Structure 1
Amino acid sequence: MIVVQLVVATRWATDFSLTRNTISDLGAVQCDTICSPWHALMNGTFMVIGALLSLGALLVASTVVAGARARMAAWALGLLVVAGISSSAVGFVPLDVDSGLHALVATPVFVTQPVALVLLGAVALRRRGSQGRSTGAFLLGCGVVGVLGAVAFAVTLATGDDGALYERIALWTCNVAVGALGWTVLRNGRHGVWDTEA
């Protein structure tokens, strides 16, 4: 997702700023105040990545067994499903087509994704062995950074300041963490992230 954003940004006729232009600007379909020639690639990426995030969370959820930690992991994976739906919806409703609806469908990803990472981090921290603890610390750290970035981005939206850098901190941190989590699960299965004895 991050690579596609950077590629799409290079196709702008005007200078694209990582601190002024939001990620949603990359999906703008009309050439009025902003012009994103490769908006179709960006919006398609939102849709595909969101669908893959939801599908991946559902597949991982099917491996979780009973127990208190399993319930926490299941909640977290449910939040990732919501985040995936939110990301996909952003691709269907570009910012310059309906800004109100775009904001409505985009907002959940800023809440659900970092909170899910915090929960999954907490579950993995309780796993025996150094890999579980290191995975847990990584997910927890990324989740906290994602929450802080989302809060800072919300503040800039309310004040009218440039907040695109905070948006990227919120979302890119979570993108990296979710990618790392997916890799860990693919490589090691359920036991690569958490055990659910309790």
Structure 2
Amino acid sequence: MTRARWGALALLVRPAYIATEYVVAAATTGGYSFVSDSVSKLGEVGCSEAYCSPRHELMNGSFMGFGVLLAGGGVLLARELGPWATGLLVVSGLSSVATGLAPLDQDATLHALAATPLFVAQPLSLLVIGHRLRKESPVLARGLLVTGVVTGSAAVAFVLAGEESAAAGALERLSLWPVLIGLAAAGLRSRRARSRTA
């Protein structure tokens, strides 16, 4: 299998991350809301009578594992994506890895510093990839451009509202989950293109 096919596969499997959130959330005690609670709350190490996430290691490991897939996928698809998109994906992936290494309840400032690049670089990567594919795959390109705008706007709204907002979880997921689908679609396009030329 070529480097590019491995890169496409890395992007294709990343939507499985969403299932990880559900698995971890199902084990929490004290109540967890996908609408009002941030994703980072699932990775909190400490427990109290009010709330506990006993599967926090799985959540933080997921941040790291899927971050490696993102950065690795970007590097392996560098020739196709170009330097800007590749750089943005690598930054996003490393940010995800760093987020998993800095749980929210251990050091909130460090956690915010680790996570912030992800919310900036991911939407930008979609815009760059969408612009790059506008002639070869116009439908996919438009989808990526729209997704980039939506996720970027949601990221700004999440930051402005803060983690204590009643819609923090919904805004954060709106800034993260569509990116998984968008990049998986780009990976699928790459994989199909490689299959046709093989």
User: Is the pair's TM-score, using the shorter chain for normalization, greater than 0.5?
Assistant: yes
Aligned pairs (5 A) from 1:58-69: 58-61=75-78, 63-64=79-80
Contact 1:25 1:34 in 2 (8 A): no
Contact 1:28 1:34 in 2 (8 A): no
Segments of structure 2 that go 5 or more residues without pairing to the other structure are 1-16
Change (3 A) 1:190 1:112: farther
State the distance in 1 between where 2:94 and 2:122 align. 11
Aligned pairs (5 A) from 1:1-198: 1-32=17-48, 34-61=51-78, 63-64=79-80, 73-127=82-136, 132-157=137-162, 160-162=164-166, 163-189=168-194
Identity within the alignment, %? 40
Contact 1:46 1:88 in 2 (8 A): yes
Letter of the 1:150 counterpart: A
Q: Give the TM-score of the pair, scaled to structure 2.
A: 0.84
Q: Give the TM-score of the pair, scaled to structure 1.
A: 0.84
Segments of structure 1 that go 5 or more residues without pairing to the other structure are 65-69, 193-198
1:186, CA displacement in angstroms?
2.5
State the distance in 1 between where 2:115 and 2:20 align. 18
1:112, CA displacement in angstroms?
0.1
Letter of the 2:145 counterpart: L
Greater relative contact order (Cα 8 A, min sep 6): structure 1 or 2?
2
How many residue pairs get aligned? The number is 179
Contact 2:147 2:179 in 1 (8 A): yes
1:180, CA displacement in angstroms?
2.0
